[in-house]
Amino acid sequence: MVPKLYKVFDSVDLYVYGSNKFKSEMLSVKFVLPCDVDMSPKNTLMISVLRRGTEKFVSLAHINKRLDELYASCLSVNNSLVGDNQVLGLTAEIIGSKFAYDGDSKKNNGEGDILDGVIEVISQILFYPATDENGDFKENYVSGEKVNLCDMIRSRINDTASFSVSRCREIMFGGQPYGISLMGSEEQISRITAHELTQHWKEVMSRSRLHCFYLGSQDPEVVVEKLRRHFKDRAVNDPYLPIVPNENKDISADVKVKRVDEKMPVVQGKLVLGFKFPHNAQGYAERVLNELYGSSPISKLFVNVREKLGLCYSCSSVYVATKKIMLAAAGINVSDREEAENEMISQLESIRRGEFSQLDLDSVKKSIDSGIRSGASDSLEYIQGFYFYRNLFGIDENIDEFREKISAVTAEDVVKAARSATLDTVYFLEGSVGDENGTDCEYGPIEDTEA
């Protein structure tokens, strides 16, 4: 099955995935904005400030108290990079209505309605923030979140694996929307005032369509009615439109590989290779290629580069469907940099020559299918994410169809995909600490807002 679309208002869409197999329900409310070097950091700061307090629930403590009253409902902030878009919003996971109040969601004239209460909280956060006497965001909320965001920017280096992959992406797409950081720089964040951020919020809300997704067993029309009551009719002028993947850019064979080396006070070096696929890549063979190359325990990188040759402490690869790229990363000794890079490229070359067995191919396809089945069976978040992003880009495909297309990938398809991959960027984070038998220096936890 696929989610069914319901129109709440002209500017509010609701996709409903009806299911009674989960004990929980999920509702997400998101808006999609174009990535922009100036606007995206403001968006990131804005969503954090909005979560701090509202007109009715004046502080984070009041918001959390209300969520606790709603059977300990969980509400998380969304801020992610999806292709050339920044997706912001809130996602709530609540107990299923049939497991509370004797299954009567309308008990006490709606006062006991968990979903209705959560929608009210979401509405308050997005549209009715706590403000001062001038109508601006409260200064202490803005200054507090600016400190938090600057701390996150400084702490990116704590996770050198994540940092190096992000840097490779930024270099690959320098000057393009996908190459920006959603957090921005400390200097950018420090300059944003409460008044400026409030005006930005008003602009964003006046131009943003809401993309809602509900997964649960309640009557869709009842969910629509709740959203209409709390969101009301929002007039949206000149709405932001999602940036769909650009299908008109071919990869030039003579493009020079970008090479960037940077030094950090860590022990391990981090080597990342960024590959691009042609504009007409469908993504199914590329996913299987990625699993065979570096994303599974039987992958070429793991078996050969790590286990047989001992050239890296860790290695993996990831395929990004929205941009048709593959990023392969390895944690290595600085002295092994050249050999490790050559061997990582050599392993892709071996796939291009078809040097893998049918058993290898079947195993990696089963690995992908197992992950899909597990997500579709056990994870509300997986189902919501799968269909949200396909709806965003107009891809008409359900989970079973996706599985079938992965299963149908042949060895010839994988070889063809490997031959079409072009090395675009090589990024090396060189550790400047001498003890190669140690581990990376740690400076504390990091929260990655660009996951």
Q: List pLDDT tens digits, range 371-416.
A: 999 999 999 999 999 999 999 999 999 999 999 999 999 999 999 9
Task: Enumerate residues 6+ apart whose C-beta is below 8 A from 338.
Answer: none
Say which DSSP state 137 is in. B
In this prediction, residue 450 carries a pLDDT of 31
DSSP 3-state assignment of 292? Answer: helix
In this prediction, residue 105 carries a pLDDT of 45
Give the separation between CA 433 and CA 430, rounded to whole angstroms.
9
Kindly list the distances between the CA atom of residue 108 and the CA atoms of 101, 113, 218, in Å, as whole numbers in the listed order.
10, 8, 18
Share the mean pLDDT of the chain: 91
**Does the predicted model carry a pTM greater than 0.75?**
yes
Task: Enumerate residues 6+ apart whose C-beta is below 8 A from 288.
Answer: 361, 364, 365, 368, 406, 409, 413, 414, 417
What is the pLDDT averaged over residues 320-349?
97
What is the pLDDT averaged over residues 302-326?
96
What is the pLDDT averaged over residues 425-434?
86
**Tokens 């581990």 belong to which residue?**
439
Residue 236 has pLDDT above 50, yes or no: yes
What is the pLDDT averaged over residues 98-114?
57
Residue 254 has pLDDT above 70, yes or no: no
Higher-confidence position of 442 and 276? 276
CATH pick for 4-231 out of 3.40.1280.10, 3.30.830.10, 2.60.320.10, 3.30.365.10: 3.30.830.10
Q: pLDDT above 70 covers what percent of the chain?
A: 91
Helix/strand/coil percentages in the chain, nearest 5: 45, 20, 35
Beta-bridged to residue 93, according to DSSP, are 26, 74
Residue 146 has pLDDT above 80, yes or no: yes
Q: Which two tokens stand for residue 287?
A: 């996913």
Q: Which two tokens stand for residue 394?
A: 């107009």
Give the separation between CA 311 and CA 186, rounded to whole angstroms.
36
Confidence of residue 267 (pLDDT cuts 50, 70, 90): confident
Q: pLDDT above 90 covers what percent of the chain?
A: 82
DSSP 3-state assignment of 12? Answer: strand
End-to-end, the C-alpha distance of the chain in Å comes to 27
Q: Which two tokens stand for residue 302?
A: 């793991």
The domain 258-431 having CATH identifier 3.30.830.10: the answer here is yes
What is the pLDDT averaged over residues 424-439?
73
CATH 3.30.830.10 segments of the chain: 4-231, 258-431
Alpha helices (runs of H) in 128-271, residue ranges in sequence order: 139-154, 160-172, 186-191, 194-207, 220-231
